[in-house]
Amino acid sequence: MKNLFRVFSLVAVCIFLAGCSQLSLSRILGNEDDLDEKLKDVERIIITPRRGGTEVDVEVKYRENSNAELSVRVVNQAPMSVVVDASYSVENNHAQALVPMMELSFTAKNRTTIYGLRFNRSGISHDGTAANLYLYESGDIGDNEIAQYTASDGRYVEFRNPDGLFIIPTGATVNVLLRADISGTAVPGQTIRFDIETSEDIDAGAIKAEASFPLKGSTASVTSVSDLGYISFANVSPTGNTTVPSGYRYYYGWRFSLVASDQDMELRFLKITNTGTATQSDIGNFRLMYLDEIITRAEMTDNDEIVFDLANNPHLVPQGQTHNLDMVFDIAQDATGTFHFMVQEMNHILVFDRTYEVFTTPNQNDNWTVIESNSSSTSTVIEGTPESEIPGQGIFVGEIELSLASDSPTGNIASGATNVVVAKFNAYAIGEDIMINSLNVGATSIGLNNGRVYVDGSQIGSTVDLIRNGSYAFNLKTNLVIKEDKIRTIEIRADVKNNSGTDLTDGDTFGVALFASSANARGLQSGMAISTSAIMGNTLTARTGTVITTKNMAVADASASRPSGVIGEMNVLIGSFIITGGSGEGSKIHQITLKNNLWNDGGITLADVFQNLRLEAGGPADTNGNYYSEVLIGRTISSLVDADDTVYRFTPSPAIDLPVGASMVINIYADILNSASKDAISVFNSNEHGVIFVSEVSATGVQTGSNTSDSDGTYYVMQRVYIAQKGELIIEAPPSSYQAWPTIAVAGTEDVELFRFRLTAENEDMDIARLIVSISLKTEEWGAMNFNGSQFSALKNFKLLNGREQIGPTLASYSMIYRDAPMNGYIDFNFGTANSYRIPKGEERILTVTATISNWPTISSGCVYQMFMSPDPLMDGTPAITAHGAGSSRDLSGPEREIRGNPFTVRKSVPLVERMALPTTTLSSSGTHTLAK
């Protein structure tokens, strides 16, 4: 039926276009042998008559990304206003909730799992303008939440689930919606928008999303009113331990209050979680009631959730009134266990302002505090329940184990430095998944300015001063969940200044601690409150004039997948560090001393693997403009000493003039010996803290002349070095969707795409000096025409492209080998060694060969050609690609196997479609009429 529809569609188009001069259907839709395949992706054909004649312009619109494995687009984008109530003090303001910021439509060719989404915040706003962010399925708001955001670093917000956020079935489209709770601290005039900048922000595993990036969401502009409605939600009863007999019908299990302020308010959704041990077979037939009248009903899910969806019949709480609502249910005759009810998240209760017609945040707060029945440590117990199932009487409750991370800062820290890590802790969940709601953080001896909590590299919660010998409870608005038997890293960052914002005095010592907290976490299986214990960070010493040397964290450790270099490679980065000037005065750096970081390793030293050790500045330049990026510092040490504890001194001339508080990156380079043994390389690759470190930086103060040296450098810690045996150039066909399509090439057409192939540089940069593409004539094989030898002159002006960038010159023609050979000719892109085309390490390039089709009669219409890459294109042992490792100079030519493109046909012309006159141009309300002919 679909094919029949396509035929009718094609006939209708052809009839309508009949009579249009010089209009070729194949020019519109391509190869006539492939029209059925092309028509399935046609969305519409736009026909625009030209003035003063019978000719028309025809534009074919295809469905967006019809061949993409995964295509994404923005839908329902529109600017809007969001409302904040400004009638209270800032900390008690409330605002509009669940604002639709960006709706995304995902279409997948095959079943696809989306694991992560990252949004970029823009507009006149800050990271606190949106208090909470959620990902929902599109449609009405209710029990269709996908996830809450898992990480935020101010500009970026990320949603991630290693098991998948959502799945797109084969051939289906799924729409998801980013929603935001606006903060009560937002002010009029602020604007906020969320975008997805590149395909890297959509994690679909091995599948790359295709879209018209950047994808931009809706812009929300903040306005304020003085009477935005809100609901206050609180527990009424029970307030402690209680018991109930089994078989109890119509049991009033939980009463809570709803107070409407400023406006009439509607309750539209309520999700209650049972954290007790009672199951679906123990309690059921839940009713939400007001004044003994049933509002709605629900049953408990497998996740122990009772979901009351009131979207179609909201419960109205008039302005100024308090409604006590009851959750009533039946207890089975043979029931045992406990129940304890909670509203765990902000979006588990959805309330609606009837006047302003918006959802608002409950309880006048950006952050949600769990509302629960009983108390945090009590439950309702069904009589006859074994003691082992009663909280505190045998049921296992998890715990959080906090420990100081091995890389938590210690020793000196630059006074006046901002947003630096002052303590790092590991949190380990034992027995069950545990959610931490808050952490008490404080400083000892000296208070610190602008304290922050980071989890796995992203800030959560707000920025506040750390109190001396006291603590501040950071409310973790993302609710930090630690999976059982898993570790998450918690960093405390601060400015090395006192609470007044003044730099600490040289020699001031301090520490940062997580103070003990009561009931600040909850076991997600047991439902019980869990407390965290106190743990102290290392003691730190603030230094002013002393320069500070630290490992450059922007340079990652090397690994087998991202090695430092390969045997024989020159100019390999083996370490990088930062020298930061003291905040009291600038320093002149006179000498930098490096030291071998290998001991008791079977006699292996730097000399067994490296030569030509040198330092280069990584920028920025010093006060005098010296030592900008890539400038040599001191001399190159060509021969290294084969002994433990060897030091290598580099003396800059002139001295490096480092300003107050400024930093300079310095990189360590060396050449890898061709003679480096496997044993030596194995020792290097296994050393987690690098093979060389900074032992001392000798400096004097610019103003005082006092010693400002850093006597312990990076203290035996630098980047890990990993050396691979050799590089590799992977030469392969691209995915079928990227290959040049089979086509009909019409005489006189320029820059026709005929062949694509993919090159990937592994382990080192690759230099390509020559690239040969073979071409074969398929005349007899395909039964095409062959006369006058013109089949050999049909193609000319060959180009090699990386995207739109041309590589090398245009070649006027291809070279012949033998007319009867499997390869009739070849195109020789010979750049030469001096002008080699470089592919950086770890990157890939999909290259395209294009050509111009000669004019008739210098072609044989119907000839079929095919381009390919052969291991022996010249039949004399010359490889198709001549390539060398840029650093090692190793020969990495190839390919080893043939890579073929799709065949293409050369034609003098293609069929034309002409428009014919209609029998009448007058339409009536009856009968059948010809619309196009």
Whether the upstream peptide bond of residue 654 has omega within 30° of 0, thus cis, is yes
pLDDT at 304: 93
Residue 829, classed as helix, strand or coil, is strand
Looking at every residue in the chain, the average pLDDT score rounds to 86
pLDDT per residue over 892-923, tens digit each?
999 999 999 999 888 888 777 778 887 777 77
Backbone angles phi, psi at 364, to 5 degrees: 50, 45
Residue 12 has pLDDT above 50, yes or no: no
Residue 47 binned pLDDT confidence (cut-offs 50, 70, 90): low
Sequence spans of domains, the chain: 2-62, 70-225, 230-389, 399-543, 548-724, 728-907
Q: What is the mean pLDDT of residues 113-117?
A: 96
**Stronger pLDDT, 741 or 98, i.e. the higher one:** 98
Query: Edge to edge, what strands does the sheet with 548-551 contain?
Result: 548-551, 572-580, 663-672, 610-619, 632-637
Residue 235 has pLDDT above 90, yes or no: yes
Q: Which helix (H) or strand (E) holds 9?
A: helix 2-17
How far CA 398 is from CA of 30, 428, 435, in Å, comes to 65, 11, 11
Q: Which amino acid is at 3?
A: N
pLDDT at 13: 43
**Stronger pLDDT, 351 or 745, i.e. the higher one:** 351
Residues 6+ apart with CB under 8 A from 572: 564, 565, 669, 670, 671, 672, 887
pLDDT per residue over 343-358, tens digit each?
988 999 999 999 999 9
Please give the span between the terminal C-alpha atoms of the chain, in angstroms, as a whole number: 24
Residue 825, classed as helix, strand or coil, is strand
- The tokens for 499 are 């609470």
Residue 514 binned pLDDT confidence (cut-offs 50, 70, 90): very high
Residue 8 has pLDDT above 50, yes or no: no
Question: Does this chain's domain 399-543 share its CATH topology with 548-724?
Answer: yes
Residue 623 CA to residue 548 CA, distance in Å, equals 17
Three-state SS sequence of 441-478: EEEECCCEEEEEEEECCEEEEEEEEECECCCEEEEEEE
- The tokens for 294 are 């049933």
How far CA 45 is from CA of 13, 14, 914, in Å, comes to 8, 11, 16
Q: Which CATH class is domain 230-389?
A: mainly beta
Q: Does domain 728-907 have CATH number 2.40.10?
A: no
pLDDT at 828: 95
The answer to whether residues 576 and 552 touch, using CB atoms and an 8 Å cutoff, is: yes
Question: Could you give the percent of the chain with pLDDT greater than 90?
Answer: 54
- The tokens for 801 are 């492209």
Question: Could you give the percent of the chain with pLDDT greater than 70?
Answer: 87
pLDDT at 20: 42
Q: Which has the minimum average pLDDT: 373-382, 619-628, 810-819?
A: 810-819
Residue 763 CA to residue 888 CA, distance in Å, equals 11
Q: What is the mean pLDDT of residues 222-230?
A: 95
Residue 44 has pLDDT above 90, yes or no: no
Closest among 925, 902, 586 to 753, alpha carbons compared: 902
CA 870 from centre of chain = 39
Backbone angles phi, psi at 92, to 5 degrees: -110, 10
Residue 889 has pLDDT above 70, yes or no: yes
Fold classification of 548-724 (topology level):
Immunoglobulin-like (2.60.40)
Residue 753 has pLDDT above 90, yes or no: yes
Q: Which has the minimum average pLDDT: 63-72, 165-174, 208-217, 559-568?
A: 63-72
Q: Which has the minimum average pLDDT: 184-193, 524-533, 752-761?
A: 524-533
Residue 477 CA to residue 496 CA, distance in Å, equals 26
326 CB burial (10 A radius; 0-12, 13-18, 19+): buried
Fold classification of 70-225 (topology level):
Immunoglobulin-like (2.60.40)
Region at 152 (left for phi over 0; alpha for psi -120 to 50; beta for the rest): beta
Q: What is the mean pLDDT of residues 643-653?
A: 91
Question: pTM of the full predicted structure?
Answer: 0.52
- Per DSSP, 545 falls in state S
Residue 55 binned pLDDT confidence (cut-offs 50, 70, 90): low
- Per DSSP, 684 falls in state H
Strand 587-596, strand 647-650: pairing:
antiparallel
**Stronger pLDDT, 532 or 705, i.e. the higher one:** 532
Three-state SS sequence of 354-415: CCCCEEECHHHCCCCCCEECCCCCCCEEECCCCHHHCCCCCCCCCEEEEEECCCCCCEEEEC
Residue 455 binned pLDDT confidence (cut-offs 50, 70, 90): confident
> Which residues on adjacent β-strands are paired with residue 837?
768
774 CB burial (10 A radius; 0-12, 13-18, 19+): buried
pLDDT at 243: 94
- For the chain, how big is the Rg over CA atoms in Å? 36
- Per DSSP, 79 falls in state -
pLDDT at 18: 42
The answer to whether residues 194 and 118 touch, using CB atoms and an 8 Å cutoff, is: no
Residue 556 CA to residue 337 CA, distance in Å, equals 52
Residue 469 CA to residue 442 CA, distance in Å, equals 7
pLDDT at 861: 81
> Which residues on adjacent β-strands are paired with residue 275?
none
pLDDT at 933: 75
Closest among 627, 612, 634, 618 to 565, alpha carbons compared: 612
As a 3-state breakdown, the chain gives helix, strand, coil percent values, each rounded to 5, of: 5, 45, 45
- The tokens for 630 are 């890539």
**Stronger pLDDT, 698 or 817, i.e. the higher one:** 698
Q: What is the mean pLDDT of residues 383-398?
A: 72
Strand 610-619, strand 572-580: pairing:
unpaired
Fold classification of 399-543 (topology level):
Immunoglobulin-like (2.60.40)
Residue 579 has pLDDT above 90, yes or no: yes
Residue 23 has pLDDT above 60, yes or no: no
Strand 80-85, strand 220-225: pairing:
parallel
Q: Give the number of residues written for the chain.
A: 933
Is the alpha carbon torsion for 688, 692, 695, 698 positive or negative? negative
